[in-house]
Chains A and B, each alone.
Chain A
Amino acid sequence: MNEVASLLQLHDLDLLLSEVSDSGSRAQFKKLGLEIQDLNALERTRSRIVSAIDRRWLNHYERALRRYGRAVAIVRHRVCQGCFIKLPTSASPSGDEPITVCESCGRLLYWR
């Protein structure tokens, strides 16, 4: 898994963690027949994913996560779906990697 894929995976895993980390949510899932049996597996997977991400990206990610609850926003019609600012042409990704940082809100932008 490359670094961008790891960042996106970390985002999805953190969403899942937010859904199941409190006992009330887990009780609701159990009631639906969807019992969460191994929460530690999520933490172990998270550690493994984090270890594959460069510290520079991780700092951006964790800062945005703490601030907004979600660290990555989709770009739709050149608009950051986190802060809804119109992004300038210069904000487009320069290489093959579809990730940049929103200069307005600091979220990671997923250009896809």
Chain B
Amino acid sequence: MTISVGLSVLDSSLYIPELRPKRRESALHEMVARAHQLGAVRDAELLCETLSIRERIGSTAIGKGVAIPHARSLAVVEPRLVVARSRRGIDWGAADGCSVHVVLLALSPAELPNDAHHEFIARAVAVARLQRNRQKLIEADGFDAVASVLKEVTP
């Protein structure tokens, strides 16, 4: 199975322009609930716990206001990237101490090979590392603007 951070993993319904929660766990719950509503996730409770376990072994905040939580799980139906923004910012335990304003939640089904899942995460990180992309994601006025940023790195 091949994967790219492009239109195949994006869905306009999986973009949350303003996350309401202030806490990391609640933010993840809201993002998972959205994916569950759309049928991309078959078991929201399982996925939330899997993401929570991942956060316990090290924060998924990569710095400069971005977090890339990720999971390979039985709960996931197909590879999806849930994109969310928090203008207020969320404390994600980042090493640089910055609040997180952009969250890219990378979800892979359990049957996706480890290498493909890692590549998926790496591509999401590559997008978020570029300052101009971060800025566009923060200032996006809708899903199309977000999709255009993520398409830039589609192979």
In contact, A41 and B57 (Cβ under 8 angstroms): yes
Footprint of B on A, CB under 8 Å? 5, 8-9, 11-13, 15-16, 18-20, 25, 28-29, 32-39, 41-42, 45, 70, 72, 74, 81, 110, 112
Complex Cα spacing A9 to B122, Å: 25
Q: Does B110 contact A (CB under 8 A)?
A: yes
- If over half of A's interface residues share one DSSP class (helix, strand or loop), that class is named, otherwise mixed; here it is helix
CB within 8 Å of A: which residues of B? 42-43, 45-46, 49-50, 53-54, 56-58, 60, 62-63, 68, 70-75, 95, 109-111, 114, 117-118, 121-122, 125
CB of A112 within 8 A of CB of B43, answer: yes
With known contacts A5-B46, A32-B125, A33-B62, A15–B110 Cβ distance under 8 A: yes
Determine the residue in chain A with the shortest Cβ distance to B129.
A33
Contact assessment for A34 and B60 in the assembled complex, using a CB-CB cutoff below 8 Å: yes
Q: Please pick, from B42, B57, B75, the residue contacting A12 in the complex, using a CB distance under 8 A.
A: B75
Complex Cα distance, B117 from A39, in Å, reads: 19
